Amino acid sequence: MKLRAPELTGRGWLNTGGDDVRLADLRGKVVVLDFWTFCCVNCLHVLDELRPLEERFGDKLVIVGVHSPKFEHEADPEALAAAVERYAVHHPVLDDPDLVTWQAYAARAWPTLVVIDPEGYIVASMSGEGHGHGLTTLVEELLVEHEAKGTLRSGSGPYVPPPAPSTALRFPGKVARLADGTVVVSDTAHHEVVHLAADDEIELARFGGEGVFNEPQGLLVLPPEAAERTGDDVLVADSVNHEIKGIRLSDGRVRTLAGTGEQLREREGSGPALRQALSTPWDLAWWYDRVVVAMAGTHQLWVLHLAEDPADNTVAVLAGTSNEGIRDGAAHEAWFAQPSGLATSADGSRVWIADSETSALRSIAVTDDGFEVTTHVGQGLFDFGHVDGPADEALLQHPLGVAELPDGSVVVADTYNGALRRFDPAKGEVSTLTTGLAEPSDVIVVPATGDDRAHLLVVEANAHRLTPVALTQEAQHVRGEAHQTQRPVTEIASGAAELVVTFEPPAGQKLDMRWGDPTMLQVSSSPEAFLREGAGKGQGLTRSLVIDESVGSAILHVSVRAAACDGDPVTGEVPEHAACHLYQQDWGIPVIVVDGASSTLTLDLRGV
């Protein structure tokens, strides 16, 4: 039975010149709806996967972004407009702050893609990353089918580019200070790294540009000994190129030190750095003579060892399983969610971590038992706000930057609250240093020099500037609102239940069973007691669960991966050296036990 696509309903539209877009206006074209939220690194990956489709299919395909926010700040229309520009979204975007269209299409995860045929019917729904190749195949099939039926039309679409802005910096990401007092800043939307004089304004040099960097983020000034040994002065987390690059300031040479330029799909790896794919490195720190990498795309910390010859550089996972959430303890068992800011403590005992999607301040340290992860502030994936006080009750909102203050306390660039927050480890308390900042994405401490007092230097990403903030101002105690991400709760019956992940490989692909089952399903819940049976990791796309009705409700965490390979179009056999494609998604689904509800929970990884 064909399902007619529901109308697109929201607060308004971006990238349309002020016009509303109706599905009737798009009849005759293939339409892909991209449900996204701008905090989500996986959503940013999908934006990159969609760009080749927009270029290839031109006036026969319309991509529509449906922005259904996770965080309170993301519902701000000005913040959304800035994000659409920052991430170079070149298609219409529906502002869906109340998740009206999200619910109409039964979306359960960021990102979700829905394909609508030229007659206005839903033909596919898929969650997660890695669908570029399969989408291409599906669009090709639809174009052939509807051209033959006479239901396909060409012509201009509803996209209207906004006026191009002009500022010296555009959505800067991170900042680092050199020994001579000058600073380097990642000019993210200009795809450059800028060297500024000690006044933080006069430009001394620019490095990179499009084709060299792609949305650079974290910066690390190497210690003198490491810089002399390697020949690189500043390291750059080149986020969209999925690489770590080095800059030699004397002549502007830029070279790759880690990464292949391809996005890592397996979420694990080690060995020669130039032969290992990475996934959206966001920040860098120097610790124990190694580079710690906040690998936002796989929700992990990695470590890069620099040799004299980049060919001898090596990388390895330092912490994180790639599952999203808060789990402390042994580094190899810990969970993160998009770690985006790093700072090494003055005594070198730990690295502080701004774990953005859990709205948390965390750290990694060395103990007698090895590397250990600790959460200092933060409740989980869906709890956030602006609340000061005892650290175990305090709330942040998607922090991106962190630095240690001279007194041993920690300042956090609390990005979506537009604030600088202070964590006092001795007292176990959180306070607010200042508010009213425009998405602060990084902060560093500038020590006193001459007549100038020590102060903070803040990257105000959405104000496109660096802003000094005095350290002498008195901390405030804000008791703002606590929030939880609001999404429809899924009802499920108590007792025995079945989890089913639908996955239909694209035409010309099949699950390759030559070396065993190429799927992985991992299930857990918060609280853990909700699942009496069925938690854990294993192969297959279905799982039998036993739910404890006395717990009542929970967040069900589901991670899935499936590998499909190109097969012979006639026989379906998979050649020995066939190209394979990895599909993966993580869900965090709020569920509640209700008598008479369905005992089957179905999730679409790729349903057609």
User: Of 435, 457, 486, which residue constitutes the final position of a domain?
Assistant: 486
CATH code where residue 1 lies: 3.40.30.10
pLDDT above 70: residue 573: no
Select from 420, 452, 486 the last residue of a domain. Answer: 486
Q: Work out the burial of residue 367: count CB atoms within 10 Å of its CB; fewer than 13 is exposed, 13-18 middle, 19 or more buried.
A: exposed
Do 456 and 505 reside in the same domain of the chain? no
108, 141, 164 - which closes a domain: 164
pLDDT-wise least confident of 108-117, 121-130, 275-284, 446-455: 446-455
Q: Which two tokens stand for residue 318?
A: 């330092």
Mean pLDDT of the chain: 93
The pLDDT of 10-25, averaged and rounded, is 95
Q: Are residues 4 and 128 in the same domain?
A: yes
Report CA-CA distances (Å) from 454 to 185, 223, 252, 606: 19, 22, 30, 54
- The fraction of the chain above a pLDDT of 70, given in percent, is 97
Does residue 176 sit in the same domain as residue 311?
yes
More confident call, 217 vs 201: 217
Per-residue confidence (pLDDT) for residue 365, from 0 to 100: 98
Condensed to tens digits (0 to 9), the pLDDT of residues 491-542 reads 999 899 999 999 988 888 888 776 678 899 999 998 899 999 999 999 999 9
Q: Examine the domain organization and report whether 471 and 370 are in the same domain.
A: yes
Say if residue 544's pLDDT is above 80.
yes
**Mean pLDDT of the 379-386 span:** 92
Q: Do 125 and 110 sit in the same domain of this protein?
A: yes
Alpha carbon distance 448, 222 (integer Å):
21
- pLDDT score recorded for residue 269: 84
Q: CA distances (Å), 360 to each of 37, 252, 410, 487, in order?
A: 19, 36, 13, 21
pLDDT at 596 over 80: yes
Residue 346 shares a structural domain with residue 288 = no
330 and 199 inside one domain: no
**Once rounded to an integer, what is the mean pLDDT over residues 91-111?**
94
331-354 per-position pLDDT tens digit? 999 999 999 999 999 999 999 999
Average pLDDT estimate for 92-116: 94
Is residue 409 domain-shared with residue 529, that is, in the same domain? no
Q: Is 327 in the same domain as 182?
A: no
DSSP letters of 248-304? ETTTTEEEEEE--SSBPSSS--EEEGGGS-B--EEEEEEETTEEEEEEGGGTEEEEE
Domain enclosing residue 82, as ranges: 1-164
Q: Are residues 228 and 159 in the same domain?
A: no
CATH number of the domain where residue 259 is located: 2.120.10.30
pLDDT of residue 152: 94
Total domains, the chain: 4
The whole-number pLDDT of residue 357 equals 96
pLDDT at 508: 81
Predicted local distance difference test score (pLDDT) of residue 545: 95
Same domain, 394 and 377: yes
pTM of the model: 0.92
Considering the domain architecture, whether residues 11 and 115 belong to the same structural domain is answered as yes
